[in-house]
Chains A and B, each alone.
Chain A
Amino acid sequence: MKSLIEKILAGDVRTVARLIRDIDDGIPDVREVLKELYPFTGKAYVVGITGAPGVGKSTLVDQMVAHLRKRKKTVGVLAVDPTSPFSGGAILGDRIRMQRHSMDQGVFIRSLATRGHFGGLTQSTRSAIDVLDAMGKDYVLVETVGVGQDEVDVMKSVHTTVIMAIPGMGDDIQAIKAGILEVGDIFVVNKADRDGVDRTVNDLKQMIEMDQRRGREGGWKPPVIKAQAVFDKGVETLLEQIDNHQSHLKETDGVINFRRRKKIIREELEDMVKGRIFEEVSRHLIETGAFEDAIESVINGEIDPYSACDNLVLPALRIETE
């Protein structure tokens, strides 16, 4: 264990890669490693990038990496792509846009699939962020398709959330609005050479204006940036705004370290407790066959599903707490 922790702290790529695999595969032993690693986390600055498919997230992340490297910062990237709900497989293609950094020892890129187990993405992404943080990366960039509760939750546990849109998709903004707009700290309108860019920028600005929580005295007002990521336009502005947001967090909260922020710790711990209860109870129910029996009972009309659920969960919880 000690040598494993030392290897991670020394930034050993293979060890880190394998640990993230264990996290992703839900290997129970990994918890012990994460416990040991925790005291060494909390140094990296974490940025989330989200938006609909095709808006240019991977391209923007690739450019951000290049700019951060010019500033002599090391970078970890977690690129999340969806798992097929039918086969359970996934094609992880975000790396295509970032491969130019693969030989750079200051950059670690990892593709993750959403996999879709209960609360799994949020928890495993947070743990993977911790590992990249502990290996010494100055910045961790997390890229996700901005749909689904899990992904919104991921964005809640980063320092700065960047939301991307493109012109000409009026409904696109509507889609963003449902859920994730509220967590956006910076908005980027990519592909800004396209028609309708000003309209999209204005729509976003209006939406931000209308948000009651924003614009209060001393509050952070999310900027809207035009960009053409593929030509490296707007990327430096984005990084400047990320710096500004970082200073703002420091001024308002007094601390930048996640580990000292009550709201984030509360949410993380809540998710962890939920996930752990689910994991332990469901393992027990599957191992004892109680779950399959309950399905049969409901089908045979012996019991209603609500009572079946009570019968399954309540005794199982008692067993786990004994």
Chain B
Amino acid sequence: MKRKRKIRIMVAKPGLDGHDRGARIIARAYRDAGFEVVYTGLHQTPEEIVEAAIQEDVDMIGLSSLAGAHNYLFPRVVELLREKQADDIVVCGGGIIPDEDIKTLERGGIRKVFTPGSSLDEIVKWVEDNVDPR
């Protein structure tokens, strides 16, 4: 019997953003790659996302934002994880993110930002290469 840990990921939509087609497609791709994906639904505060991620013991949080508030919401999630001593959880993001914001987000602890045009294969591969199930 195999004793391999399964990667668990939370896909979350922070803030006032009603579009989750992209997040659902990502969730689906992760599932097809053999990961367990917890989806929290729309309109989540960073606090709610972090609390849920800890309860679910995920290895990574994937944040999706198409509404422009990523510069606040994404780093806030990282900050809260740190406060809760759960910053071993990898945070990455995706959505409509201008190039000039990516550096800021990376400085704020977001490990990787995927923008429109990223292929699903690339997004899945990044997880396989960078996320180590505890």
Contact = CB atoms under 8 A, between A and B. Distances in A.
Contact of A279 (B1, B6, B30, B55): B1
Nearest to B59: A21
B111 interface: no
Interface stretch (A86-94, A246-254, A314-322): A86-94
Contact of B32 (A24, A25, A84, A99): A84
Interface in B45-80: 47-48, 51-52, 54-57
A311 B86 CA distance: 49
A109 interface: yes
B48 A99 contact: yes
Nearest to A118: B1
A96 B39 contact: yes
Interface string B5-49: 110100000000000000000011011111111111100100110
Contacts of B6: 24-25, 88, 113, 115
A99 B1 contact: no
Interface centre among A93, A278, A282 (most CB of B within 10 A): A93
Contact of B57 (A20, A96, A103): A20
B85 interface: yes
B108 to A, nearest CB: 23
A225 interface: no
B37 A103 contact: no
Given A26-B1, A89-B36, A96-B40, A108 B55 contact: yes
Interface residues of B, number: 33
Contact of A90 (B3, B36, B84, B85): B36
Nearest to B7: A89
A89 B31 contact: yes
A21 B133 CA distance: 10
B37 A102 contact: no
The winner among B5, B44, B85 for most chain A CB atoms within 10 A is B5
B134 interface: yes
A89 B30 contact: yes
A283 interface: yes
Nearest to B49: A102
Interface residues of A, number: 39
Contact of B85 (A14, A20, A283): A14
Interface string B102-133: 00000000000000000000000000000000
Contact of B38 (A13, A92, A278): A92
A283 B1 contact: yes
Given A14-B84, A117-B1, A87 B32 contact: yes
B40 A113 contact: no
Contacts of A24: 6
Nearest to B30: A89
B1 A282 contact: yes
A286 B1 CA distance: 7
Contact of B36 (A27, A103, A113): A113
B55 A91 contact: no
A156 to B, nearest CB: 24
B39 A95 contact: yes
B131 to A, nearest CB: 14
Contacts of B54: 13-14, 17
A111 B51 contact: no
B55 A102 contact: yes
A18 interface: yes
B41 A110 contact: no
B3 A87 contact: no
A19 B28 CA distance: 27
23 contacts: A17-B57, A18-B57, A21-B8, A21-B134, A25-B4, A25-B6, A26-B3, A84-B32, A89-B37, A90-B36, A90-B37, A91-B27, A91-B37, A91-B39, A92-B38, A95-B52, A99-B40, A99-B44, A102-B48, A102-B51, A102-B55, A103-B51, A117-B1
Interface of B: 1, 3-6, 8, 27-28, 30-41, 44, 47-48, 51-52, 54-57, 84-86, 134
